[in-house]
Structure 1
Amino acid sequence: MPPEPPPARRRAYPALSPGARTLAARCESRVNELARRMTRDTFEQLPGYPELPADVKDVEIAATVRNGLRLFLRRVRGTQGHSGDYRLFRERAAQRAEEGMPLHTLLRSHSMAVYVLWQALRDEATSEEEGALIELVDFLLRGHEAIIGVVAETYLDEQAALSAERREHHRSLVRGLLDGSLPPLRAFEELGLEGRSLVLHLQLPPEGGPSASAVAVRRTTRRVQTALDRAFGGEAVCLLGAGGGEAVVPRWTDGTAGRRACEELADRLGKVCGEGVRMAAVTAGTPSEIPAAARTAGDVVQVARACGRPAGWHRMEDVLLEFHLSRRNESSDRIAALLDPIGDRPELVETLRVHLEHRQDRRSSARHLGLHPNTVDNRLARITELTGLDLATPRGSALALAALLLRGDAVTR
């Protein structure tokens, strides 16, 4: 809980007349009676209050009410406030937040308590004490404002802390699920995963670039989470960061509706996070298959990026050949080395990549690169001269594509 503010910052309460203090003093003997009335009668009108355990009502809440009544009477007498005046209110507000009591219910209980105290003062006042009663009501409402502020602030702070703990626990579970350290049974019990799941890998353009602030990162993460909730009904469990991450959708059924959900998600993410969003989705038959599915989805995104495909939703079917060619084996290093002669010529590497992506159409490649078709021809001739790869033949093109993928970010194993 946040520390109590120092006494110097406390609200200055106006001095009351002797008549007002005399009227309030007649209520001091009724503190226990008023506390019982509030906890056993008045608060019963609040949603959820009747279901609270008896000891919470008769001990904790009753003690808080008595503390509030005595605080009011003490200040009426002119006793100066001190740093511990609101301590119990803060402790109880934090407890109610932890127990899940809605904030509106908690604040209404304080307002109802003020009304009961007002009734008690009104009942005690004689016709000659109308002025004193007005003084006390003004004093009561000013004090109530300060208490409501303390209660709401503490409740929200505690709720934020609890929410952060839950998110971190959830993230640790998803992290354990994806790296294989979380047993499938626990994944089922704590994350609600059962049967088939859809595993997504998301790659996002960081908002503000590498120097993005923590606020920008949180904003991007919230936007992605909202898009996932809309696409999959709030069931996706996620491990997201500034650059993206993974999401797992439980109880997944492949089909037209699933493909449409992925397409809509990619479109929505592109609108809220920028045009550089990439994603891939792979189905896992059981929770134990989720880690492998996550790795495969990540590989699909990397392969699609490495071979120059535009951002968006990447399906395995779209990069099937490229995916196969990017897998490492005993020949991988030798194939990758075929492009060593142009390794220090990024313009030639990019021309080769675009040329293969555009199905070796020189005019389409030239438009994409912003070059004259003759310039593209000259660069391709230079690539052939330096590497020995004949790009006009199927074998030469296949070797060039495999070499590009094996040298690029698509290589993960």
Structure 2
Amino acid sequence: MPNSALSAPIVTMAGRPLVDCLPAASTISGKIMSRYLVDSALSGRVPLATLRRDVTATVKACLELAARLLAGEDAAKPLAEVRFGVMEWAHQGVLIDSMHTAVHTATRMVFDHLTAQAEPAADHRAVARVTQVFVELTSRLATVISQAYTSEMRAAGSDAADAVAAALIAGNATPAMARARGVRLAESYVVFAVAFVAHNEEQPLLDRQIISRRTIRRVRAEVSHQWADHALMQIGADSATLLIPQDHFDPAGAERLVEHLAVAAQTRIRATFVSARADGISEEIERVRAVLDIMRRLRRDGLERFEDLSLEYQLSRPGAAGRHLAAALDSLDKHPVLLETLKAHLATRSTRVRTAHVLHIHPNTVDYRLNKIAEITGLDPMHSDGVWRLRSALVARMIGVADQESANRGDPEQTAPAAQAC
């Protein structure tokens, strides 16, 4: 499909763009709830409010899919959301025939809603466009339902592969043990470690447990979608370790993978990866977990490659060197404005104009503050040697402060207690 609305002409119906003629999600979800789900066994296993939220989310994704197809835009994101919604229903025991029927009914409702607005004498082109799009919409939804259902059924039988992943991570996997579980070990793997950043909003315990279980299933489904049966994984409520055969992993696609996993987990994530031989994975696990911990303490999200955090990794090791470096900034404790200026200056790669923009101050004010930092600390942030020393000191200080905060009051970003994978 085209990836820009500019590639498709805007078609109108009754004087309005087709996209503006779509019905509200609540209209469709309410009818689906009353017709298929309220009196089903599903409503006895899932709280009605949660069920209604799920149905509405899936309907919204279907409507966004229709809107994107009508506008000639990329449909990958809403298709992924539909896939995750179907996967939830499959997990709860909804039969695939029932899913097809419910989605077909909802699609027909939207089609009828659109065509009912057509003016017979003027909207022939619009009706033809709607018909064309809804043929494609029906085809895409049928495909994604079948794929999601198959993925969920495969995940339900993944215990053997999970056991191999756990053995590789623990360092006691053997080719014979893997073969006995239907898995052929690769010579080397990419160890892709992920941490899910906790939502801040308060939620009832039941909701947190449901969210944790769904996070596990959605991430598992996304990994299976990306690599089928090639990737092994160990996924919990707050983290995941993916073992991807080296010849199936493209480092250039790592950023995109993180985006997909964040969509699946429905939260921000931190991620890093290293390569390892199959018999050396357990040694690399400590390294990737240390990098994720550094990212947490430095409050960084997204993807960080180990080589980009090698300095931070070394400074995080116990010892006097880190403490000595951190002490270089003690003299700025009485000057919080200067300390924040230094952080901003280093974050903008020591560019005074960008620092001024970030802090909403004049560049001359940045110069004044940087000169004061040099005067107080003896390290000049406008020269390369001073920048290197100050950056190292700031990293060591932030890691030490974060450690002290965690010891004093607990990690503010700890997730809810891990739920059991299901």
Q: What TM-score, normalized to structure 1?
A: 0.49
